[in-house]
Homo-oligomer: A and B are copies of this chain.
Amino acid sequence: MAYTHTQQNRFNSKLTSQCQNCSLAALCLPIALVDEDVNRLDQIIERKRPLKKGELLFRQGEKFDSVFAVRTGTLKTFNLTGNGEEQITGFYCPSELLGLSGINNDIYPVSAKALETTTVCEIPFSHLEALSEQIPSLKRQLFKIMSRKICNDQDMMVLLGKKSADEKVASFLINLSDRFKRRGYSATAFRLSMSRGEIGNYLGLAVETVSRVMTRFQKNELIQVEGKEITLIDIDEMQKLVGKNEDCDSILKFE
């Protein structure tokens, strides 16, 4: 655990830049910790060995003790329904935090599985809580992260409840685009690390519907698809599509 501590402590500036580029951006960057604080935060973090595709980071029902920040790769969280089917509740990209829903009952209410080779930082929650006593801005930041999660989930609820298949898929792609952009990656060309089936599961759509919508988007020159590689060609048009749910029998209706 924490196999890079030695180097980090020796090259402090390197450490900082690590935190800026990496998984902890969501946690550290917005609050401008002083070096000393970054150091303290860094010391409670354990860098775990990489997960291979399909490996579980934590399992539904397990005792909660840490939250995790994604460094590289992607994960999905899901739970299993009565009949053993998977219900995907979220995808997590680099710099994003997962595991927060475990605070409630000291148990993870979902499982988390790597969609590809993935590395994460483990942040023991008890340590984080203790540290947040000493660094007020850290505590406030934690509240914000949880609050933001609540906001995002509510947007997701609206999406699931009220939007058409087209709107769901468009929203999903734009959402991914935004997340990549914020990370400094291309907002228009990226790789979908999840399968069509997983997208459909997440969006409340059948695989076939996801496939059909993406094909149609392509025909209408909104996107360019090639397997898992995707390019957003006309983001503006997609944005419009997402914003409205009526008065907009737009471009997509006729092929």
Contact = CB atoms under 8 A, between A and B. Distances in A.
DSSP majority for the A interface?
helix
A13 interface: no
> Interface range on chain A: under 10, 10 to 19, 20 to 34, or 35 or more?
35 or more
A210 B70 CA distance: 41
A158 interface: yes
A63 interface: no
Contacts of A246: 83
Given A81-B245, A100-B147, A245-B81, A87 B158 contact: yes
A49 interface: no
A120 B108 CA distance: 32
B243 A104 contact: no
A149 B146 CA distance: 10
Contacts of A236: none
A146 to B, nearest CB: 4
With most chain B CB atoms within 10 A of its CB, the pick from A109, A140, A146 is A146
B160 A204 contact: yes
B147 A101 contact: yes
Interface in A153-201: 153-154, 156-158, 160-162
A203 interface: yes
A219 interface: no
A148 interface: yes
A160 B160 CA distance: 6
Given A83-B247, A139-B139, A101 B151 contact: yes
A94 interface: no
A165 to B, nearest CB: 12
Interface in A90-148: 90, 100-105, 109-110, 129, 133, 136, 139-140, 142-144, 146-148
Interface of A: 79, 81-83, 87, 89-90, 100-105, 109-110, 129, 133, 136, 139-140, 142-144, 146-151, 153-154, 156-158, 160-162, 202-204, 243-247
Given A83-B247, A109-B151, A133-B136, 6 more contacts: A87-B158, A90-B154, A100-B150, A153-B157, A156-B157, A157-B157
16 contacts: A81-B245, A83-B244, A83-B246, A90-B154, A100-B150, A101-B151, A101-B154, A103-B144, A104-B144, A104-B148, A104-B151, A109-B151, A133-B136, A146-B150, A149-B150, A161-B203
